[in-house]
Structure 1
Amino acid sequence: MAGSTIGTNFKITTWGESHGSGIGVVIDGCPAGLSLCEEDIQTYLNRRKPGQSAFSTPRKEDDAVHILSGVFEGRTTGTPISLIVVNENQHSKDYREIASYYRPGHADFTFDAKYGFRDYRGGGRSSGRETIGRVAAGAVAAKILKELGIEILTYSKSIGPITIDETRFDAAEITKNPLYMPDADAAAKAASYLEECKAMQNSAGGIIECVITGVPAGIGDPVFEKIDANLAKAIFSIGAVKGFEIGDGFAVAAATGLTNNDAFVTDENGSVTKETNHAGGILGGMSDGSPIVFRAAIKPTPSIASTQKTINKNGEEIEINIKGRHDPIIVPRAVVVVESMAAITIFDAMLSNMSARMDGIKDFYQK
């Protein structure tokens, strides 16, 4: 299977299946000397692990990470970092029935069409548990970015029909509710909506917003390695993502040049800045120094207990009720996954940017 690696200079390869022995990632390109321990990574993994609220799967996993290589005496060595999380609470028998048919909204049919064979236990490589490796690697990238003064704030902007009120935005509220919404009132309404979905044996989707501050101007490239294009690829590689937009996104289709353009001005220090940020911090595929703002649309959990129509491997039309332990909504646990892929993409682009100018190369090698 190709396609399990992403990145150019900071490169990650995820591996493992939902119901296999474990899940993990290998990180290539992490610089030596970064202070790193398992707790740094565990903090991120704890944000996505199951069984934390009524709105996530009841599967109980500690998702405890173990560093197998690349760290010595608390610091990265510059060699590949290998991380593993052992699967401890698989209920593979819950999935035996689905070996004979294709679940609506899942990759069962496409796996069979491509490989003629599939791991039906929880979806195998297409399971949401694959994101463990992404989050573990994202924790490393985010720690590096923080040392460079770059911060990433990610949260649930909407769940189902409930959208946060920007006038009540409170970043401190994000970790105070299980839905990761920066608006306590919206979180309460969304929780009620999800209870209704659960009562109807249904699920819900939503939108995740990510704001990246501190990225200097000029990160990214103007043609095939645009920072927005690479962010889009990274975010779209998350299984549940069905939509992506930067800045004003699809709203620009109804705008005009006068309303969409961001006027350039100077700040109190005489530096170039913008009056507005309709572009979402990216112009011509390169960061412009403003906050990078993007959103990802997350589809409803496809595994629902309600009766659905499908086809079995014999081509017969049947009706099914999916068994097992599933999230009624993916959005809250996907917040840290989106954040992690953003961190990986931004740091990889920053490493590439180090060779963009002769003066930068001279400063590095001739100091």
Structure 2
Amino acid sequence: MKLLFALLISTAWTFTGAQYYYQGLMDYLENRLLAIEDRMQLWHEQSHRYHTEMKDFKKLTAEAMDGLKNHHSMLFKDLEGAAARVDRVEQEMDYVETQMSPRACTNRADKVVEQEAWELEESRDCVEIISGIRSVKIMKRVGSPKGMWTRDPRSSKVYIFNGTSGNTIYQFKSVLDFSRSLGVTGSRSIRLPSEWSGPGSAVYNGYLYYIKQEAEADMHVVKYDLLSGSVTETTMFPVEGRATVYNLNPETVADLAADDGGLWLLYAPSDSEPTISLAKMDAATLDIEQIWDTRCPRENAEAAFVVCGTVYVVYNTRLASRSRVQCVFDVNDMVLSEEAPLIYFPRRYGAHASLKYNPEEKQLYGWDDGYQIIYRLTMKRKLLA
């Protein structure tokens, strides 16, 4: 009996302990769920606050963007107006500069020619000097920032020299064909037997004249027949080291030019020589007929061209500005300092890598930062010294 009573007491205590255990477990789980609910409520409140703040931020951003767009439109209009005013000022400057007394440096004549002799000479030789730039036409943009393009004075064919060296040139039937082409597509590729060095080549009467110079080698002028595709003449020119003719375009080893009088070569005898030299060449044999010191500085020179036996050297600055003719040299001593032109080229893109004169059209073919440009010139008669 006692044993049964003890067993009942033990069982009652066991059930009572289990009840307390499960009650504690339930209380613990309930407290954890309440804590989770509190955290979820806090997260919901924070999420709602963040969402509200994000909406406010998006609204402020949209308002700021609208304001910036309005400011951008106003600034763009102001810039357009400023650009128009700058263009107007440049046009007025061009007009004023053409009306002012020229200040270019020239070689003054040392002797007076009789009028009868002048009239006889006039019938044989070109007696014009540039008085200004009449118009500018931007054809297109093809190739590298530096290069050269030109037209044969005796035909309509146009030649493209892309870059500062290579052994391939591109021939178009006309300026119109070139302007309508996509890049150099539609052209005839001409592969030369040797590389041309620098954008100083010339095309004259069906022949290509180009400079050939390899590293530490002598400079050669090569005459190439564009019709037959063969080299007809080559001559070596005495130039020391790697002298370049224009300080601002060191890739131009020497510069060949063609005008009414024939073929010319602009070069620097040595790197220490401060001025540009000029040589008259026989276009048929490449023989040197005469050499002059133009006394035009190489410093800040970017290009040059020859018109009627008169050299026009174009200058600029290292940070490209407006190109200008600042030095003129006439081989016939017929250009006075008072009549030498002070010509400013219209401000375009950068600086000229090359300028090639066409005596039949009285135009310059310029290569400016990859753009091909035609400058139509106005001319006047040279005066007696």
Relative to the length of structure 2, the TM-score reads 0.21
TM-score in terms of structure 1 length: 0.22
The structure in which a higher percent of residues are strand is 2
> Of Structure 1 and Structure 2, which has the larger fraction of its residues in helix?
1
